[in-house]
Amino acid sequence: MTQLNILTLPDSRLKTVAQPIPQVTDEIRQLAADMLETMYAAPGIGLAATQVDRHIQMVVIDVSEDKSEPLVLINPEIIERAGIQTHEEGCLSVPGIYAKVKRADQVMIKYQDLDGQWQELQTEGLLAVCIQHELDHLKGIVFLDHLSVLKRKIALKKLAKLHD
């Protein structure tokens, strides 16, 4: 396995919209393994292919305390949302910046697994937040895009200072 380079703001490649994966191949499975290794090493709880400069619809997630429940979501799509929660979010592509974001409290998604089989997953809480955050990356959206213009400007200034 290989640790991959994670793109960080203001890299414009983070705004690229990811394309569907036509077929789950060994190359896709290897990329998923590399993305999991990269995510765990960062450390983080989610990583979208967009963040490692691969503009395909795949995310990896593991919100377990002991990093024992990795999820690989290929061509994921939210099919139902319910409730609202506000959760403080951070992002491996926006290091050192955290902000409260409103998202659905519960989501149902459909996705393909590493065997190419379609699955559905109903989830809530932190996993639901993480899924929504990572699926945003596939659309070229970072969590700062959910903030007011003023809060976004403050966060970007802080980011620039942190990385000078």
Mean pLDDT for the chain overall: 96
DSSP summary character for residue 56: B
CB 52 within 8 A of CB 6: yes
Task: Write the DSSP assignment of 74-115 as a string of letters.
Answer: EEEEEEEEE--EEEEE--TTSTT--EEEEE-SEEEEEEE-TT
Res. 164: pLDDT tops 90: no
Per-residue pLDDT band for 160 (boundaries 50, 70, 90) equals confident
CATH architecture of 12-162: Alpha-Beta Complex (3.90)
Strands (E), 113-163: 118-124
Helices (H), strands (E): how many in the chain?
3, 7
DSSP state of 37: H
Q: What single letter denotes the amino acid at residue 39? A: M
| Catalytic residue IDs | 134
Query: pLDDT tens digits, residue range 39-89?
Result: 999 999 999 999 999 999 999 999 999 999 999 999 999 999 999 999 999
